[in-house]
């Protein structure tokens, strides 16, 4: 039997296993487990509890900052700010107390910046690990929300910031890019316009992965135009050097929006004080296509494997001590 590749489990396998085996039913569940959704929503005392859990496995330095941001981002795609978090920190053998404190300090700093209260979790040294794994569960209570399954055919696809932000920070050692990994402010501002039907954080699989997952969750198609997707000079240079497609590179810090057609200027104005917002395609009734720069339309049949995993697989592993 062939083993699975690094990264997210393919959606067909996920749908036939994990997403089918979900324990006891509950009438509090508003968003059932579904491929492409960033969070779950539950009915709690007249409000909705929005909750998301995510691990960080591909980095060592600044792992606490990454972990807090990626889960906070998922909650923010609802349109509401994350409020609380719990963490699970798994450390390789040989990790010292100073390293534990370093990770905790990173999470504490990001949580304070985001206005998130850390309310618990679990920390241990785990046999067999060669690098730390940090998982954060973020949640909040909101009156209303949108999700990545609410995109509509005809909606304009808009992208905040640039493609491959997180991948550039990880592979290029660009720690200053960590300041751009949060989408909380832009997600809240976009939602408040009233013209955003759906949002999805560009995590594993990058911009193309986010477009595929949002279209799958919403049961619509899409056309993503490569020539319209903004890529920073730093990311473009890195991708050329590593033979990486920036549209398939992990991109936490960028947010994909499904915007009501004709309302794009209002969303652009709302986001202008925070970040760049670019029209990069549209959602359609059927078909999932990537329009390459030369005009060739490529059918996208599955979520892409993130380029980060291919590059990391070629690099020697380091053991973290401290």
Same domain, 132 and 168: no
Q: Are both 265 and 161 inside the same structural domain?
A: yes
Determine which helix (DSSP H) or strand (DSSP E) holds 66, and give its type and residue range.
helix 63-76
Q: Is the dihedral of CA 59, 183, 279, 303 positive or negative?
A: positive
Residues 131 and 200 in one domain: no
How is residue 19 written in tokens? 């997403």
Structural domain for 228, as ranges: 156-312
How far apart (Å, rounded) are the C-alpha atoms in residues 322 and 317? 16
Query: What DSSP state is assigned to residue 194?
Result: T
219 is written with which tokens?
């049961």
Distance, CA of 102 to CA of 120 (rounded, Å): 17
Question: Based on the domain organization, do 102 and 248 belong to the same domain?
Answer: no
Residue 39 contacts residue 77 (beta carbons within 8 Å): yes
pTM of the model: 0.93
pLDDT in tens, the chain (322 residues): 578 888 888 889 999 999 999 999 999 999 989 888 999 999 999 999 999 999 998 788 899 999 999 999 999 999 999 999 999 999 999 999 999 999 999 999 999 999 999 999 999 999 999 999 999 999 999 999 999 999 999 999 999 999 999 999 989 888 888 889 999 999 999 999 999 999 999 999 999 999 999 999 999 999 999 999 999 999 999 999 999 999 999 999 999 999 999 999 999 999 999 999 999 999 999 999 999 999 999 999 999 999 998 887 776 554 343 4
Structural domain contains residue 193: yes
Cα 253 to Cα 167: distance, rounded to the nearest angstrom = 10
Cβ–Cβ under 8 Å, residues 87 and 107? yes
Angle at 289 between CA 31 and CA 247, to 5 degrees: 80
Residues 173, 133 share a domain: no
Statement to judge: residues 68 and 216 lie in one domain = no
Beta bridge partners of 215: none
Strand, helix or coil for residue 28: coil
**Is 281 found in the same domain as 198?**
yes
Query: What is the total count of domains within the chain?
Result: 2
3-class DSSP assignment, residue 313: helix
> Rounded to the nearest 5°, which phi and psi values hold at 86?
-125, 155
């Amino acid at each position: 039997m062939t083993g699975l590749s690094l990264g997210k489990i393919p959606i067909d396998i996920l749908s036939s296993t994990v997403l089918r085996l979900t324990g006891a039913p509950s009438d509090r569940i508003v968003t059932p487990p579904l491929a492409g959704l960033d969070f779950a929503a539950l009915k709690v005392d007249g409000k909705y509890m929005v909750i998301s859990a995510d691990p960080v496995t591909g980095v060592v330095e600044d792992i606490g900052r990454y972990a807090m941001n990626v889960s906070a981002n998922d909650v923010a795609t609802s349109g509401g700010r994350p409020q609380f978090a719990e963490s699970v920190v798994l450390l390789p053998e040989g990790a010292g107390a100073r390293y534990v404190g370093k990770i905790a300090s990173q999470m504490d700093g990001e949580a304070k910046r985001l206005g998130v209260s850390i309310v618990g979790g679990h920390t241990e040294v785990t046999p067999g690990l060669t690098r730390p794994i940090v998982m954060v569960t973020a949640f909040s209570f909101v009156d209303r929300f949108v999700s990545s399954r609410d995109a509509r055919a005809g909606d304009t696809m808009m992208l905040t910031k640039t493609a491959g932000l997180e991948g550039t920070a990880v592979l290029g050692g660009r720690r200053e890019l960590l300041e751009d990994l949060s989408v909380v402010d832009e997600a809240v501002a976009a939602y408040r316009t009233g013209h955003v039907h759906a949002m999805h954080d560009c995590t594993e699989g990058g911009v193309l992965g986010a477009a595929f997952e949002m279209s799958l969750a919403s049961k619509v198609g899409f056309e993503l135009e490569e020539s319209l997707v903004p890529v920073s000079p730093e990311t473009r240079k890195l991708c050329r050097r590593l033979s990486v497609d920036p549209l398939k590179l992990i991109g936490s810090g960028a947010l994909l929006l499904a915007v009501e057609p004709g309302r794009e200027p209002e969303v652009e104005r709302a986001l202008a004080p925070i970040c760049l917002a670019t029209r990069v395609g549209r959602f359609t009734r059927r078909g999932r296509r990537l329009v390459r720069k030369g005009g060739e339309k490529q059918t996208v049949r599955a979520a892409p494997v993130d380029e980060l995993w291919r590059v990391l697989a070629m690099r020697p592993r380091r053991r973290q001590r401290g």
